[in-house]
Chain A
């Protein structure tokens, strides 16, 4: 497999930000009360992650290693602000939906972690694919968690009434978020153990 595709795939499953790296769990728990919320936050993260990764990859030789963390935070904050200013002009309707999520992104651990671990060492193209893969993986995690919580918490899927009643309110509350993410993590580990026969290590380069 070509390296760029491998990087994409890497973010999707082997190093999935939520289920493998266990990063950015706060927003993941807070926002995934429905599929739609998860999807919108995921899309916002894809953009910020890709833009930030590319920026860091281009300017990595200019950023002094001792101030790299403040520089990364600045870069992420700049991109978040730029998106926050451009989106209401380009598409006011879409902005109404995602405004809340865009402002949350500055402090996401997953973004700064990918800048530190990947984009600061690699050239532009791999950084782009890594950022894209991580963003898609994060979206995937949010959507799955959101689907389970919405189905069992509100009896709906993407806003459509599926069950017609609300089985478990706890699923919508933050507690339910931790339960669901824990169960999905366990499922992933179990499947990997069944398929490869090895006990999975914790992912990432931590």
Chain B
């Protein structure tokens, strides 16, 4: 009896000590971790739009649209989009599940408050009537340059080989894929991890909506002339001109995705991920545009 008490006390002690240590470290690092995550996200978005670090033009404007799932007090579920308005402030445009606009709630807040998830959560809690729950889903990015639409950056998620793969797809105004980035993945190093490599993810560049719908993964080797056009490092070694690269890419634009050797599942996962992300985004943007028109909301983008 005494023995079992001793064991219990010992194990409890170890657990409490571990929990205290973890809690302390978490409290100290959480803020900095979130900030650095947000910064990396911003850099990824800029990168996908074709602007590297320190190379951002002054007339480039990136608008964030936060998508929320809003649960009203009577149990009705709506989708809410937090949209920046042309005049000052923001609006929460709510649409029902069939895609019809329901209402728009004006939100008085600074842009800095709505920069990330936790800030927007707090603002929405104040703006919405009591008892209404708003759950963050994702942030869509709309980029304008000099008053003209430059493109969109859309986050997505797909089931990888063992765990979720989070990705971002950039589209031009005609919904042609202009870039793919992997933001979070736990694929096997050396195999599935190659979905992050340029030679694979650049195969999606140039795919239009129609091509994406029919896109398949083929277990064939990558054509020899295609590789230099996909991988900038190889292009540099082969001294390929940008015109030559776009010529080769145009030749292969109708090709299916060439699977990574030994990692067909990861290749397929990213392909379906890109397809689904783009399909859902185009559908949602259509609904949002219709809702904005119907509600007479002048959005900033």
> Hey, which bits of chain A sit against chain B, CB under 8 A?
30-31, 33-34, 37, 62-64, 66-67, 70-71, 74-75, 77-78, 81-82, 85-86, 88-89, 92, 100-101, 103, 169, 172-173
Question: With A64-B6, A64-B11 in contact, do A78 and B22 touch (Cβ < 8 Å)?
Answer: yes
Q: Are A89's CB and B33's CB within 8 A?
A: yes
Does A62 lie within 8 Å of B13, measured CB to CB?
A: yes
Most interface-central of B14, B18, B36, B37 (chain A CB within 10 A): B14
- B32 and A89 within 8 A (CB): yes
Taking beta carbons and an 8 Å cutoff, which residues of B are in contact with A? 3, 6-7, 10-11, 13-15, 18, 21-22, 25-26, 29, 32-33, 36-37, 40, 186, 188-191, 193, 261-262
**A34 CB contacts on chain B under 8 angstroms:** 189-190
* Interchain CB contact under 8 A, B25 and A85: yes
Please name the residue on chain A nearest to B10 by beta carbon. A64
9 further interface pairs, Cβ-Cβ under 8 Å (given A63-B14, A85-B33): A30-B189, A31-B189, A64-B10, A67-B14, A74-B14, A88-B36, A100-B189, A173-B191, A173-B262
Given contacts A85-B25, A172-B262, contact A62 B33 (CB under 8 A): no
Residues in chain B near residue A62, CB distance under 8 A? 10, 13
Residues of chain A within 8 A of B15, CB atoms compared: 74
Q: Are A81 and B10 in contact (CB under 8 A)?
A: no
Within the assembled complex, what's the spacing in Å between the Cα atoms of A67 and B10?
Answer: 8
Say whether chain A's binding surface is mostly helix, strand, loop, or mixed. Answer: helix
The contact of B29 among A31, A37, A86, by CB within 8 Å, is A86
CB pair A33–B189 under 8 Å, yes or no, is yes
* 7 A-B pairs whose Cβ atoms sit less than 8 Å apart in the complex: A31-B190, A62-B13, A64-B7, A86-B25, A86-B29, A92-B36, A173-B191
Considering the chains assembled together, what is the distance between the CA atoms of A169 and B194 in angstroms? Answer: 15
The complex places the Cα of A78 from the Cα of B262 at a distance, in Å, of 34
A residues less than 8 Å from B189 (CB atoms):
30-31, 33-34, 37, 100-101
What's the nearest-Cβ distance from chain A to residue B40, in Å?
7
Closest 7 CB pairs of A and B: A33-B190, A64-B10, A89-B32, A78-B18, A37-B189, A92-B36, A89-B29
In chain B, what residue has the closest Cβ to A161? B237
Distance, CA A37 to CA B261, complexed state (A): 19
- In the bound complex, do residue A71 and residue B190 qualify as a contact, i.e. CB atoms below 8 Å apart? no
Q: How far is the CA of A64 from the CA of B3 in the complex (A)?
A: 10
Looking at the assembled complex, report how far the CB atom of A83 sits from the nearest CB atom of chain B, in whole angstroms. Answer: 10
Determine the chain B residues whose CB is within 8 A of the CB of A88 once the complex forms. 29, 33, 36-37
Nearest chain B CB to A69 CB, angstrom units: 11
Chain B residues within 8 Å of A101, by CB: 189
Complex Cα gap A77–B19 (Å)? 11
CB distance from A50 to the nearest CB of B (A): 17
| Docked-complex contact B14 and A82, CB < 8 angstroms | no
Collect the chain B residues with CB atoms within 8 Å of residue A78's CB.
18, 21-22
* Contact residues in B for A173 (Cβ distance below 8 Å): 191, 262
A75–B13 alpha-carbon span in the complex (Å): 12
Residue of A nearest to B11 (CB): A67
Q: How far is the CA of A78 from the CA of B23 in the complex (A)?
A: 11
A70 touches B25 (CB 8 A): no
How far is it, in angstroms, between the C-alpha of A101 and the C-alpha of B40 when the chains are bound? 20
Cβ of B43 to closest chain A Cβ, rounded Å: 10
User: In this complex, which of B13, B33, B191 has the most chain A Cβ atoms within 10 angstroms of its Cβ?
Assistant: B33
Name the B residues within 8 Å of A63 (CB-CB): 10, 14
Q: What is the minimal beta-carbon distance from B29 to any residue of chain A, in angstroms?
A: 5
Residue of B whose beta carbon sits closest to that of A78: B18
